[in-house]
Structure 1
Amino acid sequence: MLWHAIAPSRGYTKAANELVRHQRLSSDAKILLLYVQGLPADRRGVALSEHARALGITGRAYQKAKKLLVMHGFLHEWREQGGRGFWTTEQLLANVTLHPEEAMAARGGSPVPSAVSPSERNPTVGQPGTRVVGGYTPVDEEREKNSSHPPSEPEPQDAASAGPAPEAAEAERVLLSLRHAHRSLHLGVAEARKLVKLAVTWLRRGVTADDMRRVLVSDLPVGGVRSAVGFLRHRLVHKLPEEPAPVPQPEPAAPVAPLVACVGPGDEHLFRPVPDEDGETRCGPCRREAAWAAWEEARSAQFASETEAQAHDDPYAHTPWREKFAAVQGAGAGPVMEAPGR
């Protein structure tokens, strides 16, 4: 890709690389921020929504851009009720990320911590200076009014703090959204990234983002918390749910035996032997028929054996009684009394 740039001699707005390359700010949010930063002093008292309307950013697009600016510390608002009961909203839009304490200091006119460079009063006060917030430090060529040099690169960030994984991005989003639950839980991007690793552990244990947010903001002290980072770190460590029990793996299914041709009578047919009957060559019906045939044969053999034994012991066992009587009498066994009624 070819690149050519001519530095303007006047009428331009400087923008930090970290702002232009901010991955979580939409194009509408960036354009709105740069547009307001380049306004003359007499136009900075107008509400942010009016400036957005001048750019054609209205409705849901404006609400989304404003939400992103607030979430990442570029826009701060204070709503107060005056002596006559009227409510007023004061807005501070910075080209760097400001913590609530820094924004409050800039609003009140006191020196801003970390030497952050605020713009002129309405909505901010203070004199331009060197800042270290957000990891971007201007170098010599950027301090000059006119320069043809490209802006300096931001200092490389730790890969772990950048959070490329989906869990890290989700955890950082939850931590930055806690400011909407209570003002004392306001975290800057750098502070949130210090807690991302602890929050990712929650997500990997099956806790949803909404459930984690609910635990972190529930039962807060009445007066708020002194240190959002310390308070949230303590809760992320001590309220961490137990690791879910491992899901038992189902036992592997028994292998299915192949079909085998039955050797029994009748038409050719197939059957599948059961695992306990390896080597079986007959299907179930044929085995039952064979069992009945074997039982009948054994029964007939037993009956014949019993009959033969009985005949050997008593030759007249199956002879009618008249013939048996005549045979015994003829054999000289002596007179035999005939049964009554015969």
Structure 2
Amino acid sequence: MYVQGLPESRASEALSDHAKRIGIKGRAYQKAKSQLKEAGYVHEWRWQGQGGLWMTDQLFSNVPLTDEEARGLRKANAQAAPADRSPAGGQAGTRPVGSPQPEVEEERRENNPHPPTEAPAANAPAANAPAAEAAEPVAATDPDVAQAERVLLSLRHANPQLHLGVREARSLSATAADWLRRGVKAADLRQALVNGLPAEGVRSAYGFVRHRLVHKLPEAPAPVAPVATVRPHVTCEGDGPEHVFRPRADETLCGPCARQEAEEAHFAKWPQRRRPWRERVATILEAGAATP
């Protein structure tokens, strides 16, 4: 979001310089850039300039681009501004021939903050349309479908045999979204499509990916049991002071009152055969006292 909001005058600055300004350095920057490259938002090219010096061009877009689309957009930018191919004076961006890969601080970037995605073909110049597929607007409004399309487009970075075009990925995005709706993470979906490729190679990336999406679709998660509703309090119909309780089903007595009623019913049906010894002793004493 930070890079896409920059003016065109800062398009020649390296992506690492922008990352430093917002506090992203070192491994965090490398990880973020690799993820953006994998998703198709960042593309890089190394080329040898005047005097045998090597330079790195970076292209940053706000929509995922295929390698062909990115090369077409880069070519169009180069034709529109050929002077941009030379590094600005005082900027680090080159190394002698045979030196190691340039550090991230030595990258220079071609930034196209807002590439046209919905411009009509009649109004857009031919040089600014990197591919016919890029002219189609992204019609997916479902976040799962949009994420699935990005995963399908990123397969080319995991294995060149699974290179899908924009239209091919879009036509399979609804099927791939079913995986995400069933709890499969985007990284796991990518691994399921990339791992275990045939030893003889993939003849058709579209057919292979479609076959795996359909035939390896995981089972839908089991439905979650509904949570039992909490019953309201009711007034106990037992003896004693009025009180309320929360029944489990259709009880009319609370627990203590129900137990007392059960005991009374038991002793009414099965009376005690012998009186307690205290009652018998008391009866004997009363009889003795009454005798003159």
Q: How high is the TM-score relative to the length of structure 2?
A: 0.50
User: What's the CA shift for 1:244?
Assistant: 3.1
**Is the Cα–Cα contact under 8 Å of residues 271 and 283 in structure 1 kept in the other structure?**
no
Per the TM alignment, residue 178 of structure 1 is displaced from its structure 2 partner at its CA by: 2.4
Residue 201 of structure 1 corresponds to: 178
AA matched with 1:52 = A
Instruction: Give CA deviations for 1:1-37 in whole Å, capped at 9, x if unaligned.
Output: xxxxxxxxxxxxxxxxxxxxxxxxx44267599856x
Is the CA contact 1:172–1:196 (under 8 Å) kept in the aligned structure 2?
A: yes
Counterparts in 2 of 1:155 and 1:247: CA distance versus 1, 3 Å? same
User: Structure 2 residue aligned with 1:119, among 62, 67, 78?
Assistant: 78
Q: Where does 1:44-193 land on structure 2 (aligned, <5 Å)?
A: 51-52=13-14, 56-58=18-20, 59=25, 63=30, 64=32, 67-68=35-36, 71-72=39-40, 75-77=43-45, 93=59, 99-100=66-67, 117=76, 119=78, 136=119, 139=122, 157=137, 161-193=138-170
CA distance in 2 between counterparts of 1:98 and 1:292 reads: 86
Matched, 1:292 2:267: yes
> Structure 1: how far apart are the matches of 2:135 and 2:151?
26
Q: Partners in 1 of 2:181 and 2:270 — Cα distance? A: 67
Provide the C-alpha distance between the structure 1 equivalents of 2:155 and 2:173, rounded to a whole number of angstroms.
13
Equivalent residue for 1:260? Answer: 237
1:156 Cα deviation from its structure 2 partner: 7.3
Q: Is the 8 A contact 2:38 2:157 kept in 1?
A: no
Please tell me whether Structure 1 or Structure 2 has the larger radius of gyration of its CA atoms. 1
Q: Which has the higher contact order (CA 8 A, sep 6+)?
A: 2
Go from structure 1 to structure 2 and tell me whether the alpha carbon gap of 1:259 and 1:230 turns closer, same or farther (over 3 Å shift). Answer: same
Q: Aligned residue pairs: how many?
A: 217
Q: Distance in 1 between matches of 2:156 and 2:250?
A: 67
Superposition CA RMSD, Å: 5.2
- Residue aligned with 2:267, SS: helix
Say if 1:184 and 1:224, in contact at 8 Å, map to a contact too.
yes
For 1:162, what is the secondary structure of its paired residue? coil
**TM-score when scaled to structure 1?**
0.44
Segments of structure 1 that go 5 or more residues without pairing to the other structure are 1-25, 40-50, 80-87, 107-111, 124-132, 144-153, 301-342
In the alignment, which residue of structure 1 is the partner of 2:3? 28
Q: CA deviation at 1:228?
A: 3.1
SS in 2 for 1:260: coil
- Provide closer, same or farther for how the CA distance between residues 255 and 178 of structure 1 changes in structure 2, counting only shifts above 3 A: same
- Kept in 1, the 8 Å contact 2:149–2:170? The answer is yes
Tell me the equivalent position of 1:235: 212
Change (3 A) 1:279 1:235: closer
Change beyond 3 A, Cα 1:166–1:70: closer
Q: Name the CA distance, whole Å, in 1 between partners of 2:212 and 2:248.
A: 58
Gaps of 5+ in 2: 48-53, 86-115, 127-133, 275-292
Fraction of identical pairs, as percent: 36
Q: How many angstroms apart in 1 are the aligned matches of 2:9 and 2:121?
A: 18
